[in-house]
Amino acid sequence: MRRSVPGLVLACVAAAAVLTGCSMEEATCGGGEYPVLSVGGTGSACVPNGEDPPEGYTRYPEGKVPEHVGDKWDTYWQTHTVDEQGKVVEVPEGG
């Protein structure tokens, strides 16, 4: 049987990704950084490891940190935030 070169290349790339544990998903932050959430809003930023979040931002609650764009927690934090007391709250529609 004759296979197309593009199909073979795609199969090899997919196999290499699976075998090396490589992810095709876009990471929330780059290497050496961690994501932080805007207090009272849905904004986010990336902070270098070892540094505290800037004023107006906080760390995501443990176990609820987005790792990839569009993952479960990235989607969740589009409609939720942390208030001034650190409580997770739903963001008002349009807010």
Q: How many domains, in total, are found in the chain?
A: 1
Please report whether residue 11 resides in a domain.
no
Please report whether residue 7 resides in a domain.
no
Which residues constitute the domain of residue 50? 26-90
Which pLDDT score is estimated for 21? 46
Please report whether residue 95 resides in a domain.
no
Q: Is residue 36 within 8 Å of residue 53, measured between CB atoms?
A: yes
Strand-pairing partners, residue 47, are 34
**Residue 1 is encoded by which pair of tokens?**
């049987």
Please report whether residue 35 resides in a domain.
yes
* pLDDT for residue 6 is more than 80: no
* 80/11: higher pLDDT: 80
**Burial call 57-84: b when 16+ CB within 10 Å, e when fewer:** bbebeeeebbeeeeeebbeebeeebbee
Whole-prediction pTM: 0.71
Q: Residue 92: pLDDT band by 50, 70, 90 thresholds?
A: confident
